[in-house]
Structure 1
Amino acid sequence: MWHIISNVYLIKKIFCVFFTGFVIKIMDDYTDQNIDKMLEKPNIYEAMELGGLPYVLLLLSLAFILDPITSLSLFLSSYVIGMMGSINVKMPSGLYGYQESILIL
Structure 2
Amino acid sequence: MSAAIPRILLQPAALFLTGMVIKLTDDYLDELSEGDAAETRTLAQKLGRGVAAYCLLLFAVAVSLDAVSSSTLFLAAYAVGMGKDPNLILPTSFPAWIESVLATGGGILLWGWQPMVSSLAIMAAVQLIDDYLDRDVDWQERRPNLVHRWGKIEVLILIIIAVAVSIQLDWRKTVLVLVLAPVVNGLAEGPGKRRSC
TM-score class normalised by the smaller sequence: 0.7 to 0.9
CA–CA distance in 2 between the matches of 1:44 and 1:54?
14
**Structure 1 residues 60 and 94, CA gap change in structure 2 (3 angstroms):** same
Please give the alpha-carbon distance, in whole angstroms, between the structure 2 residues aligned to 1:51 and 1:39: 19
Q: CA RMSD in A?
A: 2.2
Any runs of at least 4 consecutive aligned residues in structure 1 with deviations exceeding 6 A, and if so which?
Answer: 38-41
Query: Structure 1 CA distance, aligned partners of 2:15 and 2:35?
Result: 25
Long gaps (5+) in structure 1: none
The residue identity in structure 1 corresponding to 2:56 is L
Match of 2:25 in 1: 27
* 1:97 and 2:99 aligned: no
Matched, 1:13 2:11: yes
Q: Secondary structure at the match of 1:32?
A: helix
Equivalent residue letter for 1:58: L
Whole-Å Cα distance in 1 between the matches of residues 81 and 19 of structure 2? 14
Post-superposition shift, 1:36? 7.6
Identical residues among aligned pairs (%): 31
Give the aligned residue type for 1:61.
A
Normalising by structure 1, we get a TM-score of: 0.84
- What is the rounded CA distance, in whole Å, between the counterparts of 2:46 and 2:38 in structure 1? 16
Shift in Å, 1:35 = 3.4
Deviation of 1:45 after TM superposition, in Å, equals: 1.4
Stretch moving more, 79-88 or 31-40: 31-40
Q: Which has the higher helix share?
A: 1
Aligned residues: 100
Contact 1:20 1:75 survives alignment (8 Å):
yes
| 1:52-98 deviations in Å (ceiling 9; x for gaps) | 21111000000000000000011000001111221011110110111
Distance 2:24 2:35 in 1: 13
Whole-Å Cα distance in 2 between the matches of residues 62 and 42 of structure 1? 26
* Structure 1 residue matching 2:6: 3-state secondary structure: helix
- Report the counterpart of residue 43 of structure 1 in structure 2: 42
**Is the 8 Å Cα contact of residues 36 and 42 (structure 1) preserved in structure 2?**
no
Q: What residue is the counterpart of 2:109 in the other structure?
A: none
Structure 2 unaligned blocks of 5 or more: 105-197
TM-score scaled by length of structure 2: 0.47
